[in-house]
Structure 1
Amino acid sequence: MAVPIVARRAAGTPATVRTRKTAAPAPSRFAGVGTWLYATFVGAIIAFYSGARIRLSSSDETLMGGSDPLNTLITLVLLLGGTIVLLRHARRFVPTILPMLPFVLMLAVMLASASWSYSPENTVRRTVTMTALLLFALCSQVTLGPERWMRIALRAMVAAAVLSLLEAALRPAIGFDVGEYANAVRGLYSQKNAFGQALLAGALALSYGVLARGRLRLADGAAILFLLVVLVLSRSTTSLLLTLMVSGVTVVVIALGTGGAVRIATAIMLLVGTVTAALILFAVPTEALLDLIGKDASFTGRTAVWEAVNQAIALRPLTGYGYAAFWLEGSSNLLRVWDYVAWDVLSAHSGYLEVRLQLGLLGTLLVWCLGGVTVLLAMRAAWLGKHRIAAWALLLIGTMAILNRSESVLLGADLMTAYWVFAVLVLAGVSRAGRDSGVPGLNGPGLR
């Protein structure tokens, strides 16, 4: 490091400045270890929120009303650690107040629903769990930065996939699903679709990394190929198709940004592909399309579940039954659904119906507002010239919109919600080229 030294000068002559080299302070040998431990901790929490668990038996599946000691411990650790980080670095988090307001409002509505909830205690407990997730997402992203956070998320999902394959190989009674999907790998997850959603989350993390870099690498191809192979083994059709969509859109966005003949060829192929897909959808009967992707007209029994849930919603359309207060073990509401569908369903298998069931019309309006804010921020980012971050955010919203047609992943304390927080924070940090966004940890090289 250079220290300025003002030389002696004679009267009437300007002062000259010379520098003297001094030894820079030696970096602490524990700094690298601490950073690695923190990144490992963040990766473990990401895997936890993706649904990964070490189960002792194949029947370790908990209803919303159940209490998970591990979840309680992690929630307490995240609340305590997140609060300490916020207090110690309060000034760094001031710029995140505005983009986090929609999620704070969501928490307020969840907590308020305890006043009309069928299980106030469970509603409050699950709201606290959601608070811990949002605090974790905020603190870890601001301290690590968006690109590094997503790299950790990708590695966590790949590690969870590898461990899931080992689980299926070493403990097949636990690592494989049950019933008609007994040959589907579920690994560390409660069932095959949960495993598929975790792999889809890995594909979204990979997509962010590719778009941030602006080019494809051989390692990216190997990673997506691995995720697709495992998705086939999990037999999670929806997540497989969405992963293919995420991969395709990512490649197209990269290609359109290269310019020249590549951009023209990509645009032509995109147009031809869109027209062809539209013709197929209109020309091929619905039953044939469902058979092609391995589905039946009832969407694997989901239509009966949707009918039963709609009947329950009709009884409390405005406020719902309270956040996380419907799927409670032994409740009369749950038993009526089970009697109707003739199997022990554990969710509405639709994020939209799940929100209406728990928070009624109020919750539905909140979700639409959150989605609208995200889309507006993405449009603003595109207007400011950051097309790749806008494309990734819209890809995330589109993926969630499709996924929630058949799975309940809206307003849940899970990885997709953390991704949503991630997208809003990054979009809020977008500014014109050469200007500081003012959001700590979200500046510097990134998506353009």
Structure 2
Amino acid sequence: MNMVKPIQVNETETLGFANLYRTGRQAPVWEQALVTIWFFVTYLPLDGVTPIRYLLVLYFLGITAMYYRDIVPVVLKSWPLFLLPIFGFLSFMWSDYPSDAIRAGVLMLLTPLTIVVIGARLNTRQALRCLMFAGMITTIFAIPTISTFSQGGPYGMGAKNLFAIQMLFAMLLCLTTALNQKEFLWVRLLALPFVPVCFVFQYLAHSATSLVFAVVGIVGLLGVRYFWISLGQIRHLRTSLLMATVGIALTIAIVFLSMPENTMMNDFLGLLGKDGTFSGRSAIWRQAELLSHEYPIAGVGLEGFWQYDVGAAQTINENDFKPFGTKLTFHNSFWEVRVHLGYVGYAMFLLILGWCLYRTVLTWFRAPTMDSSALLITAVIIFTSTFTESYLWGTFNTLVNLFYFGAITTLGAGERKFEGRVPITVRETT
């Protein structure tokens, strides 16, 4: 509540009005359970759950129709998320595989719609709790495959990075819940043991990059919980400290970059077990660059490249020792967009990135809670991963869910709404 126009009644009492706000509509338990199931079937793509995915998509469409007065305004406010999917759907007109392009375009459209529905129906804490439960269930499902974590575990051969980053987000959400004093005690106690378990599983995946993200995430959450939130009691101290930190970081970066024969980047990659080619990704990026020059404006269309009869795609498979017809990725979300949807789609993708990061950071500045801090940290991790992975180009996956939800959480059920003014009396005590 924000007090306005106080009136001094006597030496110890002040009469005034306060602005009353309501935050966070509560969704029923059954709805949270359905959202948890949805997050789980998109967290871990098990065999035989496709019918469940279709049924849940129908559920989201039904909820949209039933509560259109609540959901449609959030959709309109989230318009940047839908431009790229719409353009991608229209690419069936120039894609060499129109039926595949239509299917991929529909999935691209449904991906932000499901997140908007969840954001319109569940508040921030409830949605993150559901996603955390999905990560917990995935962790339990992964136990029988513990001997194959370094190959991908439950996600299959060659998917160790995906498994590691999924365990990373499960760990960060569990840590956020364990540190959140506003969460139910039984939920905090349930989440606590999963923090070290998920970290160990991530370590066993032998993904050095995700381990760096894990350290940064843990330090960030602990710093917010025990340091940053406390600084809010001193006016303008947070802003001053943040500006000073950014200034120091930029100064250090300028000094290091201006040093002759700087090998720090190669040294850092060496510590992570990488090299200047990023495990061979640079060769694939060169192929993507050449292809993007051939179709610069609108690209080849959705599903227009990774096909069995596309020579360039099969050449990449052969050079990467992959079976003929394998559908790879460019391991870079930017090149995925450039190749498939050209500069037009690229501009729309940059709009999505900028809009999501801006709204997530703005939400955190306005209310630096544990929930908003978790969304900010995960958004930074996801954005960083776009340079070496194609997760944000995908549909119905955990990274897209988190990245989009961080931007729209305060547009729906988590929105801070003005209810009116109420009279209050403030009494001073010695």
TM-score bracket, shorter-length normalisation: 0.7 to 0.9
Corresponding residue of 1:187: 154
Structure 2 alignment gaps of length 5 or more: 1-26, 421-430
CA deviations 1:380-412 (Å, max 9, x no partner) are 4356x3234665444333212211111111231
Does the CA-based 8 Å contact 2:75-2:116 persist in structure 1? no
CA 1:223–1:342 in structure 2 vs 1: closer, same or farther (change >3 Å)?
Answer: closer
Corresponding residue of 1:125: 103
Corresponding residue of 1:229: 200
Among 117, 122, 126, the residue aligned to 1:144? 122
Q: Distance in 2 between matches of 1:236 and 1:135?
A: 32
CA 1:208–1:87 in structure 2 vs 1: closer, same or farther (change >3 Å)?
Answer: farther
> 1:314: how far off?
1.9
| 332-341 or 273-282: bigger deviation | 273-282
**RCO greater where, 1 or 2, for CA within 8 Å and sep 6 or more?**
2
Among 342, 345, 348, the residue aligned to 1:363? 345
Superposition pairs of residues 43-54 of structure 1, within 5 angstroms: 43-54=36-47
Q: Distance in 2 between matches of 1:273 and 1:224?
A: 32
> 1:151: how far off?
0.9
User: In the alignment, residue 223 of structure 1 is paired with which amino acid?
Assistant: F
Q: Distance in 1 between matches of 2:31 and 2:400?
A: 21
Q: Give the aligned length.
A: 374
Greater Rg by CA:
1
Q: Distance in 1 between matches of 2:178 and 2:419?
A: 23
Does the CA-based 8 Å contact 1:79-1:135 persist in structure 2? no
Does the CA-based 8 Å contact 1:350-1:406 persist in structure 2? yes
CA 1:336–1:408 in structure 2 vs 1: closer, same or farther (change >3 Å)?
Answer: same
Corresponding residue of 1:163: 141
SS at match of 1:258: helix
Does the CA-based 8 Å contact 1:377-1:428 persist in structure 2? no
Corresponding residue of 1:294: 273
Corresponding residue of 1:13: none
Q: Distance in 2 between matches of 1:298 and 1:103?
A: 32
User: In the alignment, residue 239 of structure 1 is paired with which amino acid?
Assistant: S
> 1:234: how far off?
0.9
Among 375, 390, 397, the residue aligned to 2:379? 397
| 361-370 or 203-212: bigger deviation | 203-212
Residue 72 of structure 2 corresponds to residue 105 of structure 1: no
Among 346, 358, 363, the residue aligned to 1:381? 363
Superposition pairs of residues 33-432 of structure 1, within 5 angstroms: 38-54=31-47, 70-71=49-50, 73-168=51-146, 176=148, 183-189=150-156, 191-206=159-174, 209=177, 213=181, 222-254=193-225, 255-259=227-231, 285-343=264-322, 346-378=328-360, 380-381=362-363, 385-388=366-369, 391-413=373-395, 414-428=397-411
CA 1:189–1:136 in structure 2 vs 1: closer, same or farther (change >3 Å)?
Answer: farther
TM-score after normalising by structure 2 = 0.74
SS at match of 1:290: helix
User: In the alignment, residue 143 of structure 1 is paired with which amino acid?
Assistant: R
Q: Distance in 1 between matches of 2:193 and 2:247?
A: 28
> 1:352: how far off?
1.1
Does the CA-based 8 Å contact 1:154-1:202 persist in structure 2? yes
CA 1:434–1:95 in structure 2 vs 1: closer, same or farther (change >3 Å)?
Answer: closer
Does the CA-based 8 Å contact 1:39-1:152 persist in structure 2? yes
CA deviations 1:294-329 (Å, max 9, x no partner) are 212322111222122222222112211112332123
SS at match of 2:46: coil
Q: Percent identity?
A: 19
> 1:88: how far off?
1.7
TM-score after normalising by structure 1 = 0.71
CA 1:38–1:329 in structure 2 vs 1: closer, same or farther (change >3 Å)?
Answer: farther
User: In the alignment, residue 393 of structure 2 is paired with which amino acid?
Assistant: L
Q: Distance in 2 between matches of 1:82 and 1:141?
A: 12
| 213-222 or 83-92: bigger deviation | 213-222
SS at match of 2:61: helix
CA 1:322–1:210 in structure 2 vs 1: closer, same or farther (change >3 Å)?
Answer: farther
Q: Distance in 1 between matches of 2:192 and 2:263?
A: 32
Structure 1 alignment gaps of length 5 or more: 1-33, 55-68, 170-175, 178-182, 438-448
Q: Distance in 2 between matches of 1:284 and 1:218?
A: 45
Calculate the aligned-residue CA RMSD, in Å: 3.8
Q: Distance in 2 between matches of 1:379 and 1:327?
A: 35
SS at match of 1:297: coil
Q: Distance in 1 between matches of 2:280 and 2:373?
A: 34
SS at match of 1:435: strand
